[in-house]
Every structure is written in structure tokens, then in C-alpha cells.
Amino acid sequence: MKAQLPVKRLNLLSCLLAAIIGIIFHIIVSHNSTNPKIHYFTFFTVLGVMLIGFADVFIMIILSKIYKTQSRKFRVLRYLITYPVSIIIYLLVWPIIAYAAHNQWSYSDGGLFLAFVGSGFVINTMILILHDSVLLYEHKLHSELELSRLKAANAEAANLLLKQQIQPHFLFNALNTLKALYHNDTDTADTYIVHMANFLRASVFRHASNISGLEDELGLLNDYLAMQRMRFGTALNCSIAISKEDIKSYNLPSFSLQPLLENAIKHNNFTQQAPLNITIRQMGERLVFKNNIQQKKIKSPSTNYGLANLAERYRLCCGDDIIIEENEQSFSVSIKLLKNENSNN
């Protein structure tokens, strides 16, 4: 994105400089002289500074249409043009002020001519320095904005890449389960397909969204949970303790809950006699996912998909860390709930 010249700010700065120089000039001259025409000369000074400032801004606008404001050609041409223009402005304004003050004037007065040339040079130098400081500040802001946009785009790409790991991983396991169900119970397999379709539909429609409503996330979790209960029956228990009001009031990074359930199923051994008990409850502005530990004696190979994936996506979406607590009896993961007004984080 091309940086825009802060024209309004530059012109206001030129007016401020003109006012300051005019006040200083008036104080110094009035202290050393009782000339009644001092007001005309003060006005001439203020007008000259303002016109030179406006001319510098106008020249920058013209040059910026051809060259980048940070390019060397822009700076060189600006300096080469503004110095002669500033001197010409002083020489053109002087006869107007002299006429208004009923003073005689002549360009043949060498001392006066050099005074105007020197004044134009000095004033233009001051304006260039002042305007350059504004341009430098604007360039810094523009660079920081571009950097933040690049970081956001990079985070978005990284988040999308991490979410893309969900679909192949889930689909591989789901199809294997579906194949086994069709060999044993076609009715259950048909119901399984309905929940799998709901899950995949949500995955597609929310694929590019970083933040989802808590209600949508719980719906996605329930579809996944229903599919797993068809596999494990009463060996898998899950209870959710969140008020309806809070369900509609909070958001979560997309696909936050399903990986937690999948992680618990993957790393634990459970039967109808020793079920896997999972609780999901709200504690303040955090959601705590907790399960009892019944670790498998033979650990399945890890694909580095589970908690590491969730932690990284959570960091990219909202800059918050997940909190993991583990002891001999239980394993819990705490994630921050996002309020609706923060849903664009």
C-alpha cells in the first residue's frame, strides 16, 4: 500500500511555524524600533513563511505522483525546486507589502535583494526540516502498519495451515470407524454418517474463520461425541456444565473442543466397567476440559496433532496460552473464553 502524504498536517505545521516566526520577528523589531509600519513587515514575514510552506507541500504532491516519497529522486528534485521557489515568493511578496506600507522599493537595491534571497533560503531550510520530520514520522507509522498487516497475514496463514490438519486426521479415523460399523450395524452406520456430514459441513463453512461462537463449537463437539459413542457406547461419558446464557455470550477459536475430546480418547484405555469420564465446565472466563486418566499400556504413535496444534492455533487467534494440569487421577486443559466484543481478535 502506497503511503499518502499528510497534506493537512503539513499545511497546519506551516501555519504554526509562520505564526511563531511572525511573533518572534514582531517582538524583536518592535523592541528595537518605533516604526509604525512594523505591522506590515510582520505580516510580510508571516505571509512569506506560509506561502513557502504551502509551496513545498504543493511541490511534494506533484512529485509524489511520479516518485515514491522515500526515493532519492523525490528528495533531490524537491530541494532543487523549493529553494528557487522560496526566493521567488519573497521577491514577489515584497513589492505588495511595500506598496501597502507606502514604501519605495527597488530590485536594484543589492543589499535588500540579498536579504530576500537569504531569507528565502533560511526559511525554506527550516520548512524542509520541519516537513521532513513529519514525513519521517508518517513513514515510520506506515512501516509499522505494513509490518502488523504482514504479521496478521502470516498468523492467518499459519492458523489456516494448522486447521487444515484437522480434516485429513478426522476423516481417516471416521472412515475406518464407518467401515467397521457397516459390517456390524447398518442403521448405526447411517446415523454415524449423518453426524459425520454435520461435522464436515461445519468444517467447510467455518474453514476460514478463526473465531466461532461457543454454541457452534459445542454443536460441533456434540456431533463428534455422538460418533464416538457409537463406537464406545457407555464406555464414554461426557457432561457439559455451561449455562444457556453463557453459551450464547462467548466465543472460542474454531475447532477448540473437538481436538480435546479426541486427545482424551486417543491416550486413554476405557471400557464399560472402567469408562472414560469427561467434564466440560465454565470457571469464570475460562472453560475447563477434564478427564480421568487410564493410560494405555501401549501408546499409539503420535502425529503431533493434538494439544500442540490447539495451543499454537489458540496463540495465533487470541494470543492466550492454554493451561494444562495433570496428576495421577486426572488430566485437564483450561482455555480462555472470548467475549463477543473481542471476537475479532
Q: Which domains does the chain have, with CATH numbers?
A: 7-159 (no CATH), 189-342 (3.30.565)
Going by pLDDT thresholds of 50, 70 and 90, the confidence category of residue 345 is: very low
* Cβ–Cβ under 8 Å, residues 280 and 245: no
Give the sign of the dihedral formed by CA 294, CA 300, CA 302, CA 303: negative
The amino acid occupying position 107 is Y
pLDDT of residue 335: 93
- One-letter amino acid identity for 345? N
Distance CA 257, CA 260 (A): 5
Q: pTM for the complete prediction?
A: 0.52
Q: Are strands 211-213 and 250-253 parallel, antiparallel or unpaired?
A: antiparallel
Does residue 192 carry a pLDDT above 70? yes
Handedness of CA 237, 242, 248, 254 (dihedral sign): negative
- With contact defined as beta carbons under 8 Å apart, do 6 and 134 qualify? yes
Only one residue has cell 537595491, namely 109
The C-alpha atoms of residue 101 and residue 36 are separated, in whole angstroms, by 10
167 neighbors 203 (Cβ within 8 angstroms): yes
pLDDT (average), residues 223-241: 90
Q: What is the pLDDT of residue 163?
A: 53
Burial class (CB in 10 A: 0-12, 13-18, 19+), 306: middle
- Full 3-state SS string of 77-123: HHHHHHHHHHHHHHHHHHHHHHHHCCCCCCCCCHHHHHHHHHHHHHH
pLDDT of residue 47: 86
Give residue-wise pLDDT tens across range 67-111: 888 888 988 999 999 999 998 888 887 777 767 656 666 666 667
Kindly give, in sequence order, each residue whose CB lies less than 8 Å from that of residue 237, ignoring residues fewer than 6 positions away: 275, 276, 277, 278
Least confident range from 41-45, 123-127, 170-174, 261-265: namely 170-174
Task: Find, among 143, 147, 144, 160, the residue nearest to 316 by Cα.
Answer: 160
Q: Note the pLDDT of residue 186.
A: 85
